[in-house]
Amino acid sequence: MAKPEMKPLFEERMKKLLSDANDFVRYKEIVHTKPLNYIRCNTLKISCDELFVRLNKRWKVVRPFKEHKEIMLVESELGPGQLGNAIEHLLGYYYIQEVCSMMSVIALDPKPGDRVLDVCASPGSKTTQMAARMENKGTLIANDVKLDRLRILAANLERCGVMNSVVVRNDGVGLCNRLARDGFKFDKILLDAPCSGEGTLRSSAKAFLMWNVKVVDKLSREQKKLIANAIKCLKVGGELVYSTCTHSPEENEEIVDFALKNFPVSVEKVHLPLKCRIGVTHWEGAEYSKEMEKTCRIYPQDNNSEGFFVSKIKLLEEVK
Ligand X SMILES: C[S@@+](CC[C@H](N)C(=O)[O-])C[C@H]1O[C@@H](n2cnc3c(N)ncnc32)[C@H](O)[C@@H]1O
Which residues are CB-contacts of 76 (< 8 A; sequence separation ≥ 6)? 58, 59, 60, 61
Q: Which of 273-296 are b and which e, b meaning 16 or more Cβ less than 10 Å from the residue's Cβ?
A: bbebbebbbebeeeebeebbbbbb
Does 172 help bind ligand X (rule: CB under 6 A)?
A: yes
Q: What are phi and psi of 11, to 5 degrees?
A: -60, -45
- Residue 145 touches ligand X, criterion: CB under 6 A: yes
Query: Closest distance between ligand X and the C-beta of residue 142, in Å?
Result: 9
149 binds ligand X (CB under 6 A): yes
- 171 forms part of the interface with ligand X (CB under 6 A): yes
Give the DSSP letter string of 50-74.
HHHHHHHTTS-EE---TT-TTEEEE
Q: Does 124 bind ligand X (CB under 6 A)?
A: yes
Q: Which residues between 96 and 115 bind ligand X (CB under 6 A)?
A: 101
The torsion angles phi and psi of 310, rounded to 5 degrees, stand at -135, 135
Q: Is the dihedral of CA 64, 70, 71, 73 positive or negative?
A: positive
Which span (39-47, 117-125, 213-221, 308-316) binds ligand X, by CB under 6 A? Answer: 117-125
Residue 125 within binding range of ligand X, rule CB under 6 A = yes
Applying CB under 6 A, the span of 19-27, 77-85, 139-147, 275-283 interacting with ligand X comes to: 139-147
In the chain, what is the greatest distance between 2 CA atoms, to the nearest angstrom? 56
Choose between 203 and 289: whose C-beta lies nearer to ligand X: 203
**Whole-number Å distance between alpha carbons of 287 and 118:** 30
Count of residues engaged in binding ligand X, rule: CB under 6 A: 19
DSSP 93-143: SEEE--TGGGHHHHHH---TT-EEEESS-TT-HHHHHHHHHTTT-SEEEEE
Nearer to ligand X, 151 or 269 (CB): 151
Instruction: Closer to ligand X by CB, 18 or 141: give it.
Output: 141
**Could you say which of 41, 120, 233, 245 is catalytic?**
245
Work out how close the CB of 7 gets to ligand X at its nearest, in angstroms, rounded to a whole number.
Answer: 21
Nearer of residues 169 and 235 to ligand X, judged by Cβ: 169
CA angle 222, 253, 308 (to 5 degrees): 90
Whether 195 sits among the annotated catalytic residues: the reply is no
Should residue 192 be labelled a site residue for ligand X when binding is judged by CB under 6 A?
A: yes
194 binds ligand X (CB under 6 A): yes
| Binding-site member from 120, 130, 157, 234 for ligand X (CB under 6 A) | 120
| Cis amide prior to 8 (ω within 30 degrees) | no
Residue in 3, 146, 224, 232 binding ligand X, rule: CB under 6 A: 146
Q: Kindly state whether residue 319 participates in binding ligand X, applying the rule CB under 6 A.
A: no
What is the chain's length? 320
144 is a site residue for ligand X (CB under 6 A)? yes
> Cα separation of 55 and 88, whole Å?
8
Nearest approach in angstroms of CB 244 to ligand X is: 7
Determine the residue type at 177. Answer: N
123 binds ligand X (CB under 6 A): yes
Query: What residues line the site for ligand X (CB under 6 A)?
Result: 101, 119-126, 143-146, 149, 171-173, 192, 194
Would you please indicate which residues are annotated as catalytic (active-site) residues? 245
